[in-house]
Structure 1
Amino acid sequence: MKLNSISSGLIIAMVCCLLSLDGTAQSSRTSYFMKTSYARTSLNAALRPDQSYIGIPFMSNIYLDARTNTFNLNNLTFPLDGERVTFMHAQIPVEKVMENISNNNYVTANIGLSIFSAGFFRGDSHWSFDLGVRTDGDANVPKSVFELLKVGFKENETVTHDLSDLSLDQNAFIEISATHSRVFLNNSLTVGARAKLLLGLSYIDLDAKSLSITAGNEFWTAKSRVKLKGAGPGIYAYYSDSDYNPERRNFDGFHYGSFNIPGYGMGLDVGGVYDLKDVPVGFLQKLKVSYALNDIGFISWTKSNVVQLSSQETEVTVSPHNYTIIGGNTSINDIFNNAVDDIRQAINLHEDASPGGYTTSLRANMNVGLEYEVWKDKMTAGFLYSTKFGKYITTNEFTFSANYMPKSWLATSFSYSAAYSAFNTFGLAVHIAPARGLNFFLASDYTVFKISPQFLPTSSNALNFQIGLSVPFGGKRR
């Protein structure tokens, strides 16, 4: 199996389709305050569903989430003569392109699959068990990359661009978890914890500590100090002949040479919910506050399944694709494909001596919630603040929701998430949860109506989707 970790991974991240699995530890924020939801336990170990359940294998929780500050079609393509053309079109002014580009342009994305899940009550305690596959992936592309592509080639002039913040980080593993929660203080306080056994599958970390490219009208000269770490079953680096220098071979990706578990680790989630129903202040008696800290943990990767590459601070000259002639018929993917291939060859990575085993930390995330009862047993208003701590990127979100339960078997939630919606989209969740039979839920934090054939949102900076099926048992709990 071959994985071109720089080219493929970074291209996919750039177009908001970075494939990463985030199964049992993620759920739609829109369903955080829906008491019928068993998936919300992944956001806070103290949040419990209102009945016991067995998830339909491979169907109990399917989850997709992608967020970015830049990479949507309105920022990367522009209207011209009745059609949309890419930012590289000669008639699109540089100033118009750059006003939509941030100094750092990132993507954080997750796709999820829960293989098996089940939960049940025993007295005042709730237990749940989950098996799923997860990865976390982030990529960052500095503004200088766009400047290099758009204005890098100037006749009779050379321009130097600093690409030092270029990064890609992806971590994949199997998660086996057990969650336990209990109530205290006359049912006012619920405390929960989740213990996790982690089986590492793969890891990629690209870090450009320094990377400068001087562009003339026909060439690039690069000086770089870049490090790339990879972990996977029997991983080894693959090299191919250079397109520009017959005497040089370039790193062209990773091969996996065996089938084993390359990493092992542990994780912990903790959470609590406090119901202020017994406080003496009347209007506060309808308020609940909650807090959770998730993914405190690590994975240790074994020496035989680790590869490290680096570049030396020596000049490398390449003759890249001629970006100045790209017009409206060239796709965004083609542009980034060519760019990443040229940057990869300019960096000129070579394998270091065996780095030995190493340890990576999980991306911790925090949730703080406030829920206020508007209509007893029918409607609540919620506010959720979420933070995800990445190695290179930390993201925050503020979600406001109205949660309505017209029937005991039907729960709905309407939400707005402020950071990535920009008033272009909203969230919606529907749970059909009868006491017997088949339970179904569908949720999205960012309901997007306009996407391209490549699944790029046209104006929104986020995509989110979740679906699940389960079988309840034991009757409803109040």
Structure 2
Amino acid sequence: MKLRFIILALLIGGIFTNISAQTLQSSYFLEGATYRHQLNPAFMGERNYISIPMLGNMNLGTSSNVGLTDFIYKFDDPTGKYDLTTFMSSAVGRDEFLGNLKTNNRINTNVGLTILSAGFHAWGGFNTIELNMKSNTSFNLPYELFNFMKTGMDQEVYHIKNFAVNSNNYLELVLGHAHKVNDRLTIGAKLKLLAGAANVDAKIDQMDIALNGDKWEIMANGTLNTAVGGGYYKTKASNPGEINGFDVDKAGVGGYGAGIDLGATYKLMDNLTLSASVLDLGFISWKNNLKGATRNKEPFTFDGFTNIAVDPEDGDPNSVDTQFENMKDDLKDMAKFYDEGKVSRTTMLATTINVGAEYAFPFYDKLSLGVLSTTRINNPYTWTQAMVAANVRPLRWFDASVNYSYSTFGPNLGWMLNFHPKGVTFFVGSDRMITNVTPQYIPTNNANTNICLGFNIAFGRHRD
């Protein structure tokens, strides 16, 4: 893994290639959903279950407050070779491009895979054992970075702040127990033992860029932390200490940690249930953290984004892939970090808070309306979401949900179908549906999409 890939990810990697996996929020109000205990440890399963290894809970997706069409545009190439180009093309107006961006352009991705899981009724409650893989990645791409890339020498000074990416990757062994205190109150908790695989935290708090003749002078204040078992930085021989790559000698566990989930449900009335949970209160202590930092003693020069042939008058504006490849090379030269050796470091997990309420209609108790508020705390990548869901259970072995949500990343439509007869369970759904695409199948709105499905074996008597 080379540093240039980290720098590329800071700008465009998350927008185009990242995936996310997490328990469907659309399952929050479905009593027959196998994995809704991952959203609130107080939720009990209807039956005992064991997951089919690696297939129990799979979810792929991404969310952001920007979309692919903010960076890729339809293009009338005079050579007839290409029909798409990037925002760097002179065929795309400055105001047309920058007018679509936010002050902070955010991309949050979560990858999670249930390797093995089981749940069973015993000891006065519902118990779960899980082995999960999680990868949480967040990007914050400031408006001023894109302003510099697009405007160039038409402006002489730029001030870029909060240019950052964070990725936390680990395995978790989870033990959970939900207990019914009385007819109205149920509580639950989970203990998590964590083994860290890799952590990357790169941020530029402040970057001042000033034009000097035909070159740019850059003063930057930033840090780079990389924690991977057996990893080490590569540095330039021509400029001692400057990081130009990363490699792994003997791969191993990067760190260890622990966490807890807490949850509760309370039946306020016979047809109104309140619920709340706090997930991933915990930490990982990284034993092989490599630190890098910028050096602010004097500015360094940067040629600018000069390697991107995107002008129609050039006769060959290059493909979209080539343009982004050249942007990546220029970004590598724009950000310089220097090796500062190993330091001890502890990172906190991104904590999620859920607060919900569900109302079952008295004239048909198999139909309910739910509202759910979700906040994920991970500064500066924190996001919030409010969801309204209609849920129906026409059969004992089938339930479904359709919902509308609005979050930091915009509006979303979601749904879930859940089949749970005795012997097997199968679910499929999405919290974020793509509704409009270009003829090239590029989403016209924000890059918010996911698809989730899972297969599990169910056994034991049905618990109402």
TM more than 0.5: yes
**Superposition pairs of residues 264-283 of structure 1, within 5 angstroms:** 264-277=256-269
What is aligned with 1:99? 99
Distance in 1 between residues matched to 2:440 and 2:116, nearest whole Å: 31
Report whether the alignment pairs 1:426 with 2:426: no
Distance in 2 between residues matched to 1:217 and 1:372, nearest whole Å: 67
Choose from 39, 44, 50 the match for 2:40.
44
Report whether the alignment pairs 1:32 with 2:16: no
Distance in 1 between residues matched to 2:26 and 2:387, nearest whole Å: 8
What is aligned with 2:310? 326
1:230 is paired with a residue whose SS is strand
What is aligned with 1:74? 69
Distance 1:442 1:191, change over 3 A: same
Letter paired with 2:414: G
1:132 Cα deviation after fit: 1.1
Q: Which runs of 5+ in 2 are unaligned?
A: 78-82
Report whether the alignment pairs 1:286 with 2:271: yes
1:100 is paired with a residue whose SS is coil
1:418 is paired with a residue whose SS is strand
1:251 Cα deviation after fit: 2.2
What is aligned with 2:201? 205
Distance 1:247 1:270, change over 3 A: closer
Distance in 1 between residues matched to 2:365 and 2:94, nearest whole Å: 56
2:135 is paired with a residue whose SS is strand
Distance in 2 between residues matched to 1:114 and 1:69, nearest whole Å: 28
2:331 is paired with a residue whose SS is helix
1:247 Cα deviation after fit: 5.9
What is aligned with 2:367? 379
Task: Assess if the C-alpha contact under 8 Å between 1:6 and 1:344 holds in 2.
Answer: no
What is aligned with 1:464? 450
2:334 is paired with a residue whose SS is helix
1:74 Cα deviation after fit: 2.9
Distance 1:66 1:237, change over 3 A: same
Distance in 2 between residues matched to 1:12 and 1:453, nearest whole Å: 22
Distance in 2 between residues matched to 1:373 and 1:326, nearest whole Å: 58
1:458 is paired with a residue whose SS is coil
Task: Assess if the C-alpha contact under 8 Å between 1:316 and 1:347 holds in 2.
Answer: no
Distance 1:249 1:335, change over 3 A: farther
Distance in 2 between residues matched to 1:289 and 1:261, nearest whole Å: 40
What is aligned with 1:159? 156
1:153 is paired with a residue whose SS is helix
Distance in 1 between residues matched to 2:128 and 2:235, nearest whole Å: 46
Distance 1:334 1:391, change over 3 A: farther
What is aligned with 1:360? 347
What is aligned with 1:192? 188
Task: Assess if the C-alpha contact under 8 Å between 1:6 and 1:340 holds in 2.
Answer: no
Choose from 310, 315, 325 the match for 2:299.
315
What is aligned with 1:227? 223
Task: Assess if the C-alpha contact under 8 Å between 1:102 and 1:143 holds in 2.
Answer: yes
What is aligned with 1:86? 86
Task: Assess if the C-alpha contact under 8 Å between 1:15 and 1:456 holds in 2.
Answer: no
Task: Assess if the C-alpha contact under 8 Å between 1:61 and 1:113 holds in 2.
Answer: yes
Report whether the alignment pairs 1:298 with 2:283: yes
Distance in 2 between residues matched to 1:73 and 1:211, nearest whole Å: 26
**Superposition pairs of residues 236-255 of structure 1, within 5 angstroms:** 236-240=232-236, 250-255=242-247
1:207 Cα deviation after fit: 1.6
Report whether the alignment pairs 1:473 with 2:464: no
Distance 1:145 1:332, change over 3 A: farther
Choose from 389, 403, 408 the match for 1:415.
403
Aligned residues: 453
Distance 1:330 1:445, change over 3 A: farther
**Superposition pairs of residues 14-29 of structure 1, within 5 angstroms:** 14-18=14-18, 26-29=22-25
What is aligned with 1:132? 132
2:90 is paired with a residue whose SS is coil
2:26 is paired with a residue whose SS is helix
| Higher mean displacement: 111-120 or 91-100 | 91-100
1:330 Cα deviation after fit: 4.7
Distance 1:42 1:12, change over 3 A: farther
1:367 Cα deviation after fit: 0.4
What is aligned with 2:427? 441
1:91 Cα deviation after fit: 2.7
Distance in 1 between residues matched to 2:447 and 2:458, nearest whole Å: 36
1:319 Cα deviation after fit: 2.1
Letter paired with 1:175: E
1:224 Cα deviation after fit: 0.9
Q: Which runs of 5+ in 1 are unaligned?
A: 278-284
Letter paired with 1:373: A
| Higher mean displacement: 4-13 or 166-175 | 4-13
1:381 Cα deviation after fit: 0.8
Distance in 2 between residues matched to 1:395 and 1:455, nearest whole Å: 27
1:343 Cα deviation after fit: 3.2
Letter paired with 1:458: T
Task: Assess if the C-alpha contact under 8 Å between 1:316 and 1:346 holds in 2.
Answer: no
Distance in 2 between residues matched to 1:334 and 1:248, nearest whole Å: 31
| Higher mean displacement: 160-169 or 322-331 | 322-331
Distance 1:247 1:435, change over 3 A: closer
Distance 1:41 1:4, change over 3 A: farther
1:144 is paired with a residue whose SS is helix
What is aligned with 1:144? 144
1:369 is paired with a residue whose SS is strand
Distance in 1 between residues matched to 2:181 and 2:11, nearest whole Å: 50
Distance 1:216 1:430, change over 3 A: farther
Distance in 1 between residues matched to 2:409 and 2:167, nearest whole Å: 25
Q: TM-score, normalised by structure 1?
A: 0.88
1:165 is paired with a residue whose SS is strand
Distance 1:386 1:337, change over 3 A: farther
Letter paired with 1:262: G
Distance 1:200 1:14, change over 3 A: closer
Task: Assess if the C-alpha contact under 8 Å between 2:389 and 2:401 holds in 1.
Answer: yes
1:184 Cα deviation after fit: 1.6
1:252 Cα deviation after fit: 2.5
Letter paired with 1:300: S
Among all aligned residue pairs of Structure 1 and Structure 2, give the percentage whose two residues are the same amino acid.
Answer: 27
1:413 is paired with a residue whose SS is strand
Q: TM-score, normalised by structure 2?
A: 0.90
1:92 Cα deviation after fit: 2.2
Task: Assess if the C-alpha contact under 8 Å between 1:153 and 1:216 holds in 2.
Answer: no
1:84 Cα deviation after fit: 4.7
Distance in 2 between residues matched to 1:18 and 1:12, nearest whole Å: 10
Task: Assess if the C-alpha contact under 8 Å between 1:7 and 1:341 holds in 2.
Answer: no
Distance in 2 between residues matched to 1:109 and 1:453, nearest whole Å: 26
Task: Assess if the C-alpha contact under 8 Å between 1:7 and 1:337 holds in 2.
Answer: no
1:447 Cα deviation after fit: 1.6
1:397 Cα deviation after fit: 0.7
Letter paired with 1:431: N
Choose from 172, 177, 185 the match for 2:174.
177
2:407 is paired with a residue whose SS is helix
Report whether the alignment pairs 1:258 with 2:254: no
Distance 1:170 1:350, change over 3 A: same
**Superposition pairs of residues 111-126 of structure 1, within 5 angstroms:** 111-122=111-122, 124-126=124-126
